[in-house]
Amino acid sequence: MNEDVPSEEKAYPKVILAHVICTFHREETAYLKIDHLKPLLSESYRIIVIDNGGTLPEKNEPYLRILHSPNYGGSAGFARGMIESLKTDATHILLNDDDAEVEADAIRRTIEYLSRLPPEKKDICVSGIMLDSHNPNIVYEAGAQVSDGNLIPLKHGADITKGEGLLALNKHEHIDFANWTYFCVPVSLVREHGLPLPMFVREDDVEYGLRLKAEIVTIPKVYVKHPTYTSDYSPANYYYYVRNRLTALCCSADPDISILDKFFDEMATEACSYRYLSCRQMILGMEDFLRGPEHVFMQCRDGMHPAERPELQDLNILRQRLSPACSIPAEEFSRRRRSLNGIFRRSVGDIETTPFDMDSAHFYRVGKVLYKINVERGFLAKRSAPKAIHYAIHITFLKRKAMKLFPKLKKEYHNKREIYSSEKFWQNLFCNNPPN
């Protein structure tokens, strides 16, 4: 939903915005952002920087604070910033990733909009309109919806320099959650619903939006620039995707057991596409999810999940190692599935694509796949019958286990949500004294 800034002058309660920035070893980026926004600092606008890396000098100025915090992930950094904001007279909290570029005008527009809301609209949240930092005229998402376990970015691809793009931004659509490149939430909702869950990275924003069930709007020209989520390939992301997406849904969305089909089908697709590293991480994510909420939520103390990454090389060099592909029609899906996508049949050549290609037919009887990460670098993946068999067996038995445990686990995750999103839990965790 895109909201025009209210123009009627009335005496509404004053808005005080606490801008929480979570950073980790991005000193230059953090300083640039602080310097850019410093002229706005006032009684109505404060900045709280949570430094999970402990590399920035701490500050405690009237409207600018920089605090060191244990590195329990982005979720923890934002939770700490929200706790610090709750100690003040702030009325709203803005959650903003350190690498998300925000103009001062976006802050001003947000404060102005919130300042003119009538009392019955006091619980409205604001989502920034996220632009692709590599193509800043194009919208990546303006809020998002959750459907059958999938995230649907709204207004994706709209061009803000064209009339039809601006019209698209003005179209009303329900927003389930806003990513934390720019998400403004009233303090009243934080006090009512609690803090983020300790998910380290990824999907914490999804769960929080589903939990709040608040009205979320976008405001004209409140833009934020950020790299898109498909601009990098890391197998570790697949681990967090499975573990945290299922955690988020179980905590706050009451998913049907059929949701498991989605994740296991995607594991099989990764294996059929020779992305064995990401398939393995998806399996590990599922295994950790099945261990239950206590295991998942306390893992934040262990740091970033370790995952092997493919070796990136020059695309032109890798292309020389490809064989021409023959055009043959892929068999129907059920037959390809039984044959592990033709893994035992003679290769008909090699292809070039991206790591986000989810059509298994593209990989039918392919020998090697060149995966492009960007315009210069990529990696080569080769088919392996032993690996395909190993993962097919592992996925089959793991799915049986998941189907058996899911009904009980769904209740456990939902019931534990209040404990692990409480200020008491987070305060104890920051003091290295988490609950038993």
CA distance 102 to 185: 17
Average pLDDT over residues 36-61: 97
User: At 10, is the pLDDT very low, low, confident or very high (cuts 50, 70, 90)?
Assistant: low
pLDDT (0 to 100) of residue 5: 54
**What residues contact 213, with CB distance under 8 A and at least 6 apart?**
none
Strand partners, 102: 224
Burial of 387 (0-12, 13-18, 19+ CB in 10 A): middle
Which of the four pLDDT bands, split at 50, 70 and 90, describes residue 233? confident
What's residue 197's pLDDT?
A: 99
DSSP string, 54-84: --SPPEE-SSEEEEE---S-HHHHHHHHHHH
What pLDDT does residue 220 have? 95
Banded pLDDT at 335 (limits 50, 70, 90): confident
Which of 170-174, 198-202, 227-231, 233-237 has the lowest average pLDDT?
A: 227-231
Tens digits of residue pLDDT in 271-328: 999 999 999 999 999 999 999 999 999 999 999 999 999 999 999 999 999 998 776 6
| Mean pLDDT, range 368-380, rounded to an integer | 94
The whole-model pTM stands at: 0.93
Using pLDDT thresholds of 50, 70 and 90, give the confidence band for residue 337. confident
Looking at every residue in the chain, the average pLDDT score rounds to 94
Instruction: Could you list the beta-strand ranges (E) of 264-350.
Output: 313-314
State pLDDT tens for residues 109-134.
Answer: 999 999 999 999 999 999 999 999 99
Q: How confident is the model at residue 1 (pLDDT cuts 50, 70, 90)?
A: low
Q: What is the pLDDT of residue 277?
A: 97
Q: Is the pLDDT of residue 7 over 90?
A: no
Residue 435: the pLDDT is 53
> Which H helix or E strand runs over 370?
strand 368-372
Please report the pLDDT score of residue 6 as a whole number: 56
The domains located in the chain, with CATH, are 17-231 (3.90.550.60), 235-412 (no CATH)
Lowest mean pLDDT among 296-310, 324-338, 364-378: 324-338
pLDDT value of residue 99: 94
pLDDT in tens, 162-208: 999 999 999 999 999 999 999 999 999 999 999 999 999 999 999 99
Q: Confidence band (pLDDT; 50, 70, 90) for 232?
A: confident
Q: What is the pLDDT of residue 9?
A: 53
CB-count exposure of residue 227 (10 Å: 0-12, 13-18, 19+): middle
Is it the case that residue 338 has pLDDT exceeding 80?
no
Residue type, 296: V
Q: 400 vs 346, which has greater pLDDT?
A: 400
Q: Which pLDDT tens digit goes with each residue over 94-106?
A: 999 999 999 999 9
Q: What is the pLDDT of residue 194?
A: 99
Determine the average pLDDT of the residues in 158-162. 97
Highest mean pLDDT: which range of 277-291, 329-343, 422-436: 277-291
User: Residue 2's pLDDT is what?
Assistant: 60
How many other C-beta atoms lie within 10 A of the C-beta of residue 9? 7
